[in-house]
Structure 1
Amino acid sequence: MKLFYAPTSPYVRKVMAVAHETDLVDEIELLFSGTTPLAGDKELRSFNPLGKIPALVTDEAGCLFDSRVICEYLAAKGGNKKLFPPDGPSRWEVLAQQALGDGLLDAALLARYEIMMRPENQRSGEWRAAQLQKVTTALDRIEALLPTVGDTVTIGTITFGCALGYLDFRFPELEWHKNRPVAERWFGEFDERPAMAATRPREHVPA
């Protein structure tokens, strides 16, 4: 398997954390992609027409893209039935948690792109504030949900961990830890899992 990736992407981190949890990480060859919303990657687009990472090239299923699809593929390939529970209430709870964490990340990335990708005279403070408000309400929901989650490791909790880690990496000024003691304590423990410690975001250093 070959994975188009960037070490700063929280969605790539989700995929790699699942790869570690399923013992498939050694079967994945990493291909760095410098794609951005404004600058495409020609090689990546030949596999993923959307030009987005992560994208996983497989022998049996072609190229898979979107972290949700890739993570479920890896869980199935690795025979891990805990990350994605079988049909029933627990499955929908976990998928809803994943959607919440992904939604937080979507909003955070849009807020970052507003600053990083647009000329200063074209930026919308109102737009960015609206995205950060979504981050805040998502954080509050995570704080409320975590007491019922416990120490389980699912695609939901992995996504929560990647989302909170991304805020520490790119938005330290938000100080999300303040007034969220449950999330702070949970993240402090969960982020030390080998799969999470091995996938923490970092800036790319060219070879």
Structure 2
Amino acid sequence: MMQLFFASTSAYVRKVMVCATILGLADEIERLDSAAHPIDRDERIAAFNPLAKVPALRTPGGLCLYDSRVICEYLNALAQGDLFPETGDARWRSLARQALGDGIIDAALLARYEFSARPPGKQWQGWADAQLKKVAAALSDIEGQVSGFSRQPDDIGLIAIGCALGYLDFRFAELNWRARYPLTAAWFALFAAHPAMATTQTHV
């Protein structure tokens, strides 16, 4: 059985579990408790990943994998799935969309950590605002692409974007992103209803 350091609040862990669910592998993953934090290092995770970040997975053969992009591709290969297009523009489009979704999560995490992990006297609103500006730019780009998106989590790029939007709902509800990006909101309402998304919803 595979072992995964798990956190229900992590959009990256959710991304892995969405892939695992789609690929029929979720029941083959043992979920290990973790407390990943940018300051307080969890040495349990470090046994799998020297960066002490989730997700971190150990294969049945003992190989340790980390970063959601690597783990998702491993799961896809293991199940001989088709979440990663193999060739041509479809592959590069999918990987670029994965990078866009991951980038939203990265920027949102940095904005959140500015106030949740940094001491009050050292917090910088300008830094957080700059991260959220990246989020807004990425959402604008998605709004221009979304009419061509599948409504099913059948592609790693769309899974990453879906998990990123879910994370914004979870941690940044005050952004009310749906009001500015109605086409993306309409797509996400359908995409998020898929069982693989609904059963992995980010929560505390």
Question: Normalising by the residue count of structure 1, what TM-score does the alignment of the two structures yield?
Answer: 0.95
For residues 165 and 110 of structure 1, the distance between their equivalents in structure 2, rounded to whole angstroms, comes to: 16
Following superposition of structure 1 onto structure 2, how do residues 52-201 of structure 1 map, counting pairs within 5 Å?
Answer: 52-60=53-61, 62-81=63-82, 83-152=83-152, 153-201=154-202
1:40 Cα shift? 1.1
Amino acid at match of 2:119: P
Structure 1 residues 123-143: Cα deviation after superposition (integer angstroms, max 9, x where no partner) = 011111100000100111111
Partner-residue secondary structure (3-state), 1:47:
coil
Structure 1 residues 35-78: Cα deviation after superposition (integer angstroms, max 9, x where no partner) = 20111111211221110000011023601000000000001111
Q: Considering only aligned residues, what root-mean-square deviation do their CA atoms show, in Å? A: 1.0
For residues 27 and 98 of structure 1, the distance between their equivalents in structure 2, rounded to whole angstroms, comes to: 24
Contact 2:162 2:188 in 1 (8 A): yes
For residues 40 and 91 of structure 1, the distance between their equivalents in structure 2, rounded to whole angstroms, comes to: 36
Amino acid at match of 2:159: I
Structure 1 residues 158-181: Cα deviation after superposition (integer angstroms, max 9, x where no partner) = 111100010011000000001211
Matched residue count: 202
Q: Quote the residue 1:33 is aligned against.
A: 34
For residues 78 and 150 of structure 1, the distance between their equivalents in structure 2, rounded to whole angstroms, comes to: 21
Partner-residue secondary structure (3-state), 2:85:
coil
- Structure 1 stretches of 4+ with a deviation exceeding 6 A read none
1:85 Cα shift? 0.6
Q: Quote the residue 1:24 is aligned against.
A: 25
Amino acid at match of 1:52: K
For residues 86 and 35 of structure 1, the distance between their equivalents in structure 2, rounded to whole angstroms, comes to: 33
Contact 2:151 2:190 in 1 (8 A): no
Partner-residue secondary structure (3-state), 1:30:
strand
For residues 45 and 18 of structure 2, the distance between their equivalents in structure 1, rounded to whole angstroms, comes to: 22
Partner-residue secondary structure (3-state), 1:103:
helix
- Percent identity over the alignment is 51
Question: Normalising by the residue count of structure 2, what TM-score does the alignment of the two structures yield?
Answer: 0.96
Partner-residue secondary structure (3-state), 1:118:
coil
Distance 1:148 1:61, change over 3 A: farther
Structure 1 residues not aligned, in runs of 5+: none
Amino acid at match of 2:156: I
